[in-house]
């Protein structure tokens, strides 16, 4: 199964993320434990784009692509923020509340890759 969602950093758009992801993982009959891991990692990645890459810009879109094959689930988040590679970025060791996003993404993803393509960040998370 595959699905995609395009949203901005606006609160109303961000509110569409959970229902879309819940519907997608349910339609795909994913185990609840896997769906929860995907939920946390994607929430952190999208929040990082909205808060840091877009820094309050509520009009610029980001796209999430979901794909499930027999062996794994892949989510690809594409944004047009400044270049940022979360696979090499130093995660805070003693982060305050709200500063553990990179650690959570790395913990829940089986594989994490980044590339900069046509002026856009592309983060691929495999579960």
Read off the CATH number of the domain in which 32 is found: 3.30.565.10
Phi and psi at residue 113, to the nearest 5°: -130, 155
Say how far apart CA 126 and CA 38 lie, in whole Å.
Answer: 9
With a cut of 90, say whether residue 7 has pLDDT above it: yes
Instruction: Identify whether 125 is part of a domain.
Output: no
Does 69 map to a domain? yes
Average confidence (pLDDT) over 37-43: 97
68, part of any domain: yes
What's the domain count of the chain? 1
pLDDT of residue 95: 54
Spacing of C-alpha 41 from chain mean position: 6
Residue 46 located in a structural domain: yes
Residue 124 lies in a domain: no
Predicted TM-score (pTM) of the model is 0.91
Q: How many CB atoms lie within 10 A of CB 3?
A: 16
Distance (Å, rounded) from C-alpha 45 to C-alpha 3?
18
Mean pLDDT of the chain: 93
Q: What is the pLDDT of residues 60-97, one digit of tens each?
A: 999 999 999 988 999 999 999 999 999 998 766 665 65
Task: Give the structural domain span for 82.
Answer: 2-119
């Amino acid at each position: 199964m595959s699905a995609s969602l395009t949203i901005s950093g606006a609160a109303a758009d961000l509110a569409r993320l959970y229902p879309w992801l819940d519907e997608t993982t349910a339609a795909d009959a994913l185990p609840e434990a896997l769906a929860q891991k995907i939920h946390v990692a994607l929430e952190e990645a999208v929040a990082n784009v909205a808060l840091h890459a877009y820094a309050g810009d509520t009009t610029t879109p980001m796209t999430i692509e979901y794909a499930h094959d027999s062996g794994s689930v892949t989510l690809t988040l594409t944004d047009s923020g400044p270049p940022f590679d979360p696979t090499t970025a130093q995660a805070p060791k003693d982060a305050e509340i709200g500063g553990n996003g990179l650690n959570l993404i790395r913990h829940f993803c089986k594989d994490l890759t980044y590339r900069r393509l046509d002026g856009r960040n592309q983060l691929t998370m495999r579960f």
